[in-house]
Structures are given as structure tokens and as C-alpha cells.
Amino acid sequence: MTFSFRSNGIWSLLVMVLVLVGLFYLARGVYIVLSWATPVLLIAAAVLDYKVFVRFARYVIRLLQESPLLGVLVVVLSVVALPLLAAMLFFQALASYQSDRIRKELERRTQGEWAEYEEVEIVETADEPEQPATPRIERPEPVKRRPDDTADYEQLFD
């Protein structure tokens, strides 16, 4: 015996509404948690890499200059969705910090670390013979061309 619903449209609509309500409450909960964590996220982002704030400000200023309507929309959304913006800036700063750390580690592996050194004083003694003067190397004089050698070359341009 099989079980079937004759009214599939109503059940699927009810399930869809329940899923959307569940997603709304989930998003609302995430927003509330992020709103409490916003100051901590902003401070942590500034400590990890303050340049993310500079890059975001440059982006908004450039957007305001190139497309004022879109720039104003981004500013308004930045204020309304500040907890989400703080999380985004924190994760950008974290990614930048991690990539810098990995890059420095790779540079250290390839180039090596600075070696410890000790300065050695050079003591000249009378026992050491003086260095002989380097012999002077004479260069051969350049070969002079005959005047008739260039005549063939000049004829090419006549």
C-alpha cells in the first residue's frame, strides 16, 4: 500500500514557509551575536592589520566619486549592517595577517636567517711582506681601417 498526498502544493508551500522562517530566525540570531561582538571584532581587525580600514575607506571614497548613488547606498548599508561589516573587516585582516606570516616564513626558509658574526681586528705585523704591485696590462692599439674599406659601404646608400 502506498501513501500519497493529493494536495502536494499546500504541503510544499508550508515547508517552504517554515524553512524561510527558520532562516530568518537564524540570520537574526547571527546578527544579534555579531552586534555584541562588533567592538571586539573592530579592535581585533585594527590590531591584526589596520590597512583593511584604509582600503575600505578608499573603496567607499572612490565609489562615491565614480558612482554617487551606489556610494551612498554602500555608506547606508555600512551603517545598518555594521556587525556584518565588522566581521568582514576582521576576516580580511585575519587573512592578510596569515598571508603575511606565511610569506615571511617562506622568505626565512629560502633566504635563511642572519648569521651571528664576530668582528675580527686586523693586526699588521712587520713580518708580513708587502703585496707586490699589480702589473700594468698594455692594451693593443686598435687597428686603423684603410680609407678604401668604407667606400664599398658608402656605395650602398648612393
Q: In 3-state terms, the chain is what percent helix, strand and coil (to 5)? A: 70, 0, 30
Measured distance CA(59)–CA(82) in Å, rounded: 16
Cell of 27: 540570520
The answer to whether the CB of 93 falls within 8 A of the CB of 48 is yes
pLDDT of residue 5: 54
Spatial separation of the C-alpha atoms in residues 25 and 18, rounded to whole Å: 11
User: Residue type at 82?
Assistant: L
pTM for the model stands at 0.59
Tens digits of residue pLDDT in 128-153: 666 667 778 888 887 776 666 566 66
